[in-house]
Amino acid sequence: MVGLAYDLLANPQGAVRSTFEKAVASSGLDFDPASLDGKDWGALHLFRQFLFDQTHLSQVPILNGETVKWVQPNTLVRFRGMIQDMLGNEFYVGAFKDGDVWRTNKFMDVSHFPMPMASTSSSHMRVWERRLLYCVPVPGRNSWTEPSSESLVNRCVDCSSQQREKRRRMDDESVDHMDMLVSDEGFQGSPSTKKMKENGHPSMSSQTKEPINEGICSHMSTVPSIDSESLPCLVKIYDSPESDLKLNDVFEFIGVLTFDSEVSMDKDDQDELSNGFSEDVLVHLPPNKVPRLHCLIHRKLTVPDFLHSSPIMEPRPHVVREIRETLLRHLTAVLGDDSVAAHFMLLHLLSRVHTRVENLAVGKLSLNLTGFSKESVSLFGHRLSLAVKDLLPVTHSIPLTVEYLNSSSLAPIKDYETNRLITGVLQLAEGSHLIIDETQLKAGTLNSVGVDNTRLLKNLMELQKVEYDFKYYKMEMAADVQLLIISEGKSNILPADIVIPFQPTSADSSEVVAAEALEAWRWYLATVKSLPHSIESEMQKVVENDLVEARQSDRSIGSQDFNRWLTMGRLMSVSFGENCLSLEHWQMVKELERLRRERLK
């Protein structure tokens, strides 16, 4: 504890409080709490320094279904997730006067000091607001993106045991405080209070027992019903502009974990009025299922962040070229020695929407591999999906059958009863990969749901947009999903940008992929994908001439084809790690396109 009054990992709230007190003290007697409205008083700076400048970030445990069992409340944790729903704003008493001293409630659920009774004491308090975000682990995330938790566990147990003493004192204090309040009220003779003390209070009683029960596991009782597979988290965001955090964005939130025990009591509360007003949502998100995280620092995650052992490499041309070659070989092997398809596959894996102009999503490159039969699907389809899974962090696959279309809910739907957005299959994080297997589609009748679902898929394909169903109206949300369609003939339901007949020549693939190679490929795909790109004016002329020429010779070529070629050109040169389209790569694109056209004939 040199230099810092509090351990930032184990007692972040202490740091928040002490910085607040410092800020109050520094402004002297005429401290105006309004000056801190929506502002930070230096606490965040402290954390930033600690986490990033002093690189303590890795010591912060990642909250997931596993770690939640032993992570202590009121400690610093990280949560990586996608914003699935936004639950609006919450007003809370940000700062209040306890006697003569200003206290703050920022970054905590429950006040650690007796709050002035609303009906009795002075009016010195400030109301601040915070945003509630409902976050879930990124849907479709592949297991290799999880950091190996083993090392972290050890580290965290270490550091938490050091701090156990202190924290226990803290806990005691707050529990005592709560007890005091409860008993105060209890004397007023309301039967419901007593009842609550007995029944509705499992979490608190477990907390009270904690000092007796030795060991960290005592907290298991607080979180009995968490599905360890997918742990959602209610993140509370402070003082951050609204445009920072958008729906479906993937973020890492670093903040204080709390199990908001008071709300759990609230839900037994049958008071008509408060139920009517309460956000409803919280009732459906009991804290023992959904932990709360008071976010101190949040940062947007991109694909490279998911590579845990990311080798810090400069995307040097020859390295990139090498990796590209091996990856292409790998894809060719996966695709049964069909190198043309492998080339397209590579471009497809690198595609992303980089610009939107009106209704046009520039940069998408959906791929339709045709010519699959029942047999080849079971072999190649499976192999392909495994390969994609190994390469990209977030993947999904949809078996397109009539039953599936008729029954599944692809689009998220707003449920006004619970005031929640019920997620759908197509609520996907940016950069997800989606394989749609159309070979299983048989003749059948679509009901209205099915028709809607096909329309959704088509919209996603053509516009990269998903319509969210808000019951009284629909709202389009931009998406960025790589779509791969496997079908017998050209898919008419889902018109892809590139249709290519798949022509495997060998069926066996005995290739064993080395772990290092996988790592390199993942790094390659993640890094190269986000490279900036431009075009020189000379090359622009060449491209334009080629386009005009093509159109002069064949009137059926339209802007769609132009778009496809240019996207391919961009991706081709990006795949070599280059920032500028060169003639060589443009020729390659034209050659690829020629080969493809030949196959289509």
Partner 1 sequence: MASDSSPANFNGPTSPDDSYSSPIGNTFSSPGDARRRSRRRSTTPSAFATPPPNQSRFATSDANPALTPTPSSRRGGRRGGRRATSTTPVNAAATPTSTDDAPASSEGGEGYDADDARPTFVWGTNISVEDVNEAIYRFLKHFRDSSTASQSEDGLLREGKYEIAIKRVIEIEGESLDVNARDVFDYDPDLYTKMVRYPLEVLAIFDIVLMNMVGRINPLFEKHIQTRIFNLKSSTSMRNLNPSDVERMVSLKGMIIRSSSIIPEIREAIFRCLVCGYYSDPVVINRGQITEPKICLKEECQARDSMTLVHNRCRFTDKQIVKLQETPDEIPEGGTPHTVSLLMHDKLVDTGKPGDRVEVTGIYRAMTVRVGPAQRTVKSLFKTYIDCLHIKKTDKSRMLAEDPMDVDNPTGRNVEDISFDKEKVEQLKELSKLPDIYDRLTRSLAPNIWELDDVKKGLLCQLFGGNALKLASGASFRGDINILLVGDPGTSKSQLLQYIHKLSPRGIYTSGRGSSAVGLTAYVAKDPETGETVLESGALVLSDRGICCIDEFDKMSDNARSMLHEVMEQQTVSIAKAGIIASLNARTSVLACANPSGSRYNPRLSVIDNIHLPPTLLSRFDLIYLLLDKADEQTDRRLAKHIVALHFENPESLEQDVLDLSTLTAYVSYARKHIHPQLSDEAAEELTQGYVELRRRGNFPGSSKKVITATPRQIESLIRLSEALARIRFSEWVEKSDVMEAFRLLEVAMQQSATDHSTGTIDMDLITTGVSASERMRRENVLSAIRSIIMEKMQLGGPSMRLLELLEELKKQSPGPEVHLHDLRNAVSTLASEGFVSLHGDTVKRV
Contacting partner 1 within 138-167 (CB under 8 A): none
Count of other CB atoms within 10 angstroms of residue 305: 16
What's the rounded Cα separation, in Å, for the pair 316 and 309?
19
Using the minimum distance from each CB to partner 1, give the nearer residue, 236 or 330: 236
What's the rounded Cα separation, in Å, for the pair 28 and 471?
54
Using the minimum distance from each CB to partner 1, give the nearer residue, 208 or 326: 208
Of residues 196-255, those binding partner 1 (CB under 8 A): 196, 242-243, 246-249
Work out which of 10, 566, 574, 588 binds partner 1, going by CB under 8 A: 566
Of residues 280-309, those binding partner 1 (CB under 8 A): none
Work out which of 308, 416, 511, 514 binds partner 1, going by CB under 8 A: 416
Residue by residue, DSSP assigns 21-52 as: HHHHHHT-TT--GGGGTT---SHHHHHHIIII
Using the minimum distance from each CB to partner 1, give the nearer residue, 41 or 380: 41
Buried b (16+ CB within 10 A) or exposed e, 122-138: eeebbebebbbbbbbbb
Using the minimum distance from each CB to partner 1, give the nearer residue, 213 or 274: 274
Q: Which stretch binds partner 1 (CB under 8 A): 325-333, 356-364, 382-390, 443-451?
A: 356-364
Count of other CB atoms within 10 angstroms of residue 344: 27
Closest distance to partner 1 from the beta carbon of 403 (Å) = 30
Considering the rule CB under 8 A, would residue 175 count as an interface residue with partner 1?
no
- State the chain's maximal CA–CA distance in angstroms: 92
Work out which of 237, 350, 400, 581 binds partner 1, going by CB under 8 A: 581
Using the minimum distance from each CB to partner 1, give the nearer residue, 442 or 555: 555
Considering the rule CB under 8 A, would residue 187 count as an interface residue with partner 1?
no
Using the minimum distance from each CB to partner 1, give the nearer residue, 268 or 584: 268
Per-residue x/- track, 465-494, partner 1 (CB under 8 A): -----xxxx-x-xx----------------
Helix (H, G, I), strand (E, B) or coil at 514: coil
Work out which of 151, 192, 228, 447 binds partner 1, going by CB under 8 A: 192
Count of other CB atoms within 10 angstroms of residue 358: 6
Closest distance to partner 1 from the beta carbon of 23 (Å) = 19
Closest distance to partner 1 from the beta carbon of 503 (Å) = 30
Closest distance to partner 1 from the beta carbon of 399 (Å) = 30
Work out which of 348, 396, 570, 585 binds partner 1, going by CB under 8 A: 570
Q: Which stretch binds partner 1 (CB under 8 A): 262-270, 376-384, 433-441, 591-599?
A: 262-270
Q: Quick one: DSSP state of residue 377?
A: I
Considering the rule CB under 8 A, would residue 266 count as an interface residue with partner 1?
yes
Q: Which helix H or strand E contains 572, and what residues bound it?
A: helix 559-575
Work out which of 212, 357, 443, 512 binds partner 1, going by CB under 8 A: 357
Q: Which residues pair with 489 in a beta bridge?
A: none
Return the residue matching tokens 């069926």. Answer: 507
Using the minimum distance from each CB to partner 1, give the nearer residue, 302 or 503: 302
What's the rounded Cα separation, in Å, for the pair 349 and 352?
9
Of residues 488-547, those binding partner 1 (CB under 8 A): 533-535, 540, 543-544, 547
Closest distance to partner 1 from the beta carbon of 485 (Å) = 23
- Asked if 312 and 285 touch (Cβ cutoff 8 Å), the reply is no
Considering the rule CB under 8 A, would residue 123 count as an interface residue with partner 1?
yes
- Of 47, 46, 7, give the one whose Cα is nearest residue 163: 7
Six-digit token string for 300: 């947007």
Six-digit token string for 436: 């749609």
Length of the chain: 601
Residues 6+ apart with CB under 8 A from 200: 264, 265, 268
Distances (CA, A) of 131 to 62, 252, 562: 22, 16, 44
Closest distance to partner 1 from the beta carbon of 591 (Å) = 19
Using the minimum distance from each CB to partner 1, give the nearer residue, 109 or 338: 109
Six-digit token string for 569: 């050109």
Closest distance to partner 1 from the beta carbon of 475 (Å) = 6
Q: Which stretch binds partner 1 (CB under 8 A): 80-88, 328-336, 371-379, 506-514?
A: 80-88
Using the minimum distance from each CB to partner 1, give the nearer residue, 248 or 482: 248
What's the rounded Cα separation, in Å, for the pair 258 and 207?
13
Considering the rule CB under 8 A, would residue 548 count as an interface residue with partner 1?
yes
Residue by residue, DSSP assigns 186-222 as: HTT--HHHHHHHHTS-HHHHHHHHTTTS-SGGGGGGG
Closest distance to partner 1 from the beta carbon of 585 (Å) = 13
Using the minimum distance from each CB to partner 1, give the nearer residue, 187 or 214: 187
Q: Quick one: DSSP state of residue 288?
A: T
Work out which of 216, 220, 362, 449 binds partner 1, going by CB under 8 A: 362
